[in-house]
Amino acid sequence: MKIYTKVGDHGQTKQVTGKMVAKTDPQIEALGAIDEFQSYLGVAVAALAPTSLNLAPDLQAVQKQLYILQADLAVPRSNKLTPEATAWLEQRIDAFWAAMPHLNAFIIPGGPDNGAGSQLQYARTLARRAERAAVALSNQQDISDACMTYLNRVSDFLYAAALYANWEDGYQEIPSK
């Protein structure tokens, strides 16, 4: 089986329904933004140091949830992503936050050389882009509250995970002032 279809050679692509749409269609933009975000999480996992490898299962769990979220956006009313997915993110955020010293200032996103913390900060910005694309799509199709809440919360999760990875790697965050 060939992996190329030649369907998209002229700026169009086929939705799950079979309908041809522009590659700039809001649904395609949202799915692409989530794909980019999900793929970059793999970069962050690859950057984990031995001290922060314990984050890999959490990050890979998010990658799996993003597949479900993409299916929900591609097939309206699929609604497979549940509020429990967001509750899990919140539990993990709380666990990261409880383990680390409290921050009292905004920080400059970063981390040690080739560290996962900076990769996770970048993934956080990709999550925000995916959320904005989903908001734009919501003007065209119904998107479940579970999907929208998950997309909002996953960036908070990544912020906490980035700080946690840096803390585990012994990196001192740099205040913005």
Q: For residue 41, give the CATH number of its domain.
A: 1.20.1200.10
- pTM over 0.95, yes/no: no
Domain annotation covers residue 4: no
CA distance 6 to 3: 10
Domain annotation covers residue 46: yes
Which has more confidence, 177 or 64? 64
Domain annotation covers residue 86: yes
Rounded to the nearest integer, the mean pLDDT of the chain is: 94
- Assess whether pLDDT exceeds 90 at residue 77: no
Domain annotation covers residue 5: no
Identify the pLDDT of residue 102. 86
Domain count of the chain? 1
pLDDT tens-digit series, residues 99-129: 999 888 899 998 887 789 999 999 999 999 9
Domain region containing 137:
12-171
Please name the residue that has the structure tokens 């970059």: 40
Q: What is the mean pLDDT of residues 54-66?
A: 98
Identify the pLDDT of residue 59. 98
- Assess whether pLDDT exceeds 90 at residue 7: no
